[in-house]
């Protein structure tokens, strides 16, 4: 079980508070969140299942894109943070 928080922009579509999820890796964790909160679907990942360009996922403070990506293990992790960055000019 791992503690998951999402940023304020995504809270409109998912949990408003911290959520506890049981999953072996980031990909399965996102699947579990999307199953609980169907409005999150396609906001975190695209149609192919890849993380969207502006979505950042951190496991214990380390961004997953720099490592194993969606296969990053979360078992034993203290926290997972999901952030949606804003782009514009």
| Tens digit of pLDDT at every position of the chain (89 positions) | 999 999 999 999 999 999 999 999 999 999 999 999 999 999 999 999 999 999 999 999 999 998 999 999 999 999 999 999 876 66
Residue 89 lies in a domain: no
Residue 68 lies in a domain: yes
* CATH number, position 41: 3.10.20.30
Q: How many domains does the chain have?
A: 1
Domain containing residue 16: 2-84
Q: Could you tell me the pTM of the whole model?
A: 0.92
| Separation of alpha carbons 56 and 85, rounded Å | 8
Residue 42 lies in a domain: yes
Q: Are 59 and 74 in contact (CB under 8 A)?
A: yes
Cβ neighbours around 41 below 10 Å, total: 14
Residue 64 lies in a domain: yes
């Amino acid at each position: 079980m791992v503690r998951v928080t999402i940023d304020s922009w995504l809270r409109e579509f998912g949990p408003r508070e911290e959520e506890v999820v049981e999953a072996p890796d980031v990909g399965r964790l996102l699947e579990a969140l999307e199953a609980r909160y169907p409005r999150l679907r396609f906001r975190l990942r695209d149609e192919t299942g890849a993380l969207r360009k502006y979505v950042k996922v951190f496991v214990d403070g380390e961004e997953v894109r720099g490592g194993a990506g969606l296969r990053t293990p979360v078992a034993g992790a203290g926290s997972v943070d999901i952030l949606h960055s804003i782009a514009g000019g």
